[in-house]
């Protein structure tokens, strides 16, 4: 145990060999904050040991310093992270951290990975939009393509004469955005009108000339329950 400035007993986290290895870094012109991040210790701790070294209270040899591997994301690491997130877009930062360590034998902090994804990979965390896997599968696309080609070849399908696209969208009286800003560490609440209204469903058909027809339907009470 060691005593802090208040005389309290605190565990001795850093070994002397680890701390003294900071001094060569300071000689290279690195700031105390950067050396602290490099060796995983507070800036004040680094400054204290450097001061002791400068005054002769602390001495060490090159054999005392334990080699520390810098947690820097290399070009290969950048490609690995981007491919990993693209393939597993629901992965957590901890899962990325574990996968990176297994691949490159380097331990990164979650904050380092997050900053790299945001600044270098242009990737952000958003609310997931779910859709069935079969909707965009190769088999489904080929099925749609063959269906369209078959009807185009036999003359039943002509975009300029008999092709209409239909889509629907639902609305409620309390619709808001699915995402909202809030102070870090607090929940995001959104005020909505205190009303009980049935959902409205807009069904519209469009063709190459524009809107063909549109209709609005009100959802029944039993359908909403």
Domain ranges of the chain: 2-64, 75-119, 131-160, 164-173+192-225
Question: 3-state DSSP helix/strand/coil percent for the chain, to nearest 5?
Answer: 40, 10, 45
- Evaluate whether 71 touches 108 at the Cβ level (below 8 Å): yes
Q: What is the pLDDT of residue 76?
A: 92
| DSSP secondary structure string for all residues of 122-179 | -----------GGGG-HHHHHHHHHHHHHHHHTTS--TTTT--EEEEEEE-TT---S-
Q: What is the pLDDT of residue 59?
A: 66
- Evaluate whether 199 touches 222 at the Cβ level (below 8 Å): no
Q: What is the pLDDT of residue 79?
A: 93
Strands 165-171 and 210-218: unpaired
Please give the chain's pLDDT, 225 residues, in tens.
445 455 544 444 444 444 444 544 544 567 888 877 777 778 888 888 778 777 777 666 555 555 444 447 888 999 999 999 888 888 899 999 999 999 998 888 888 999 898 888 888 887 776 667 777 788 888 998 999 898 888 888 888 888 899 998 887 777 777 777 667 677 777 777 766 777 888 999 998 889 999 999 887 654 444
Residues 6+ apart with CB under 8 A from 195: 173, 174
Structure tokens at 215: 């209709």
- Evaluate whether 198 touches 223 at the Cβ level (below 8 Å): no
3-class secondary-structure state, position 61: coil
Q: What is the pLDDT of residue 170?
A: 83
Q: What is the pLDDT of residue 182?
A: 65
């Amino acid at each position: 145990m060691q005593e802090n400035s208040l005389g309290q007993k605190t565990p001795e986290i850093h070994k002397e060999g680890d701390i003294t290895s900071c001094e060569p870094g300071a000689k290279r012109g690195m700031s105390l904050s950067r050396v602290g991040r490099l060796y995983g210790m507070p800036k004040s701790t680094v400054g204290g040991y450097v001061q002791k070294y400068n005054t002769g209270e602390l001495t060490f040899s090159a054999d005392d310093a334990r080699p520390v591997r810098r947690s820097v994301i290399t070009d290969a690491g950048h490609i690995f992270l981007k491919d990993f997130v693209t393939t597993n877009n629901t992965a957590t930062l901890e899962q990325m951290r574990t996968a990176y360590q297994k691949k490159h034998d380097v331990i990164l902090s979650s904050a380092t990975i997050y900053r790299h994804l945001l600044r270098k990979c242009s990737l952000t965390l958003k609310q997931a939009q779910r859709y069935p896997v079969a909707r965009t599968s190769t088999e489904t696309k080929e099925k749609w393509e063959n269906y369209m080609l078959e009807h185009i070849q036999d003359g039943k399908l002509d975009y300029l004469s008999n092709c209409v696209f239909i889509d629907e969208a639902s609305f409620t009286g309390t619709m808001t955005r699915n995402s909202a800003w809030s102070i870090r560490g607090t929940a995001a609440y959104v005020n909505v009108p205190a009303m009980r209204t049935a959902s409205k469903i807009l069904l519209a058909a469009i063709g190459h000339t524009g809107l063909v027809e549109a209709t609005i339907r009100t959802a029944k009470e039993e359908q909403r329950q």
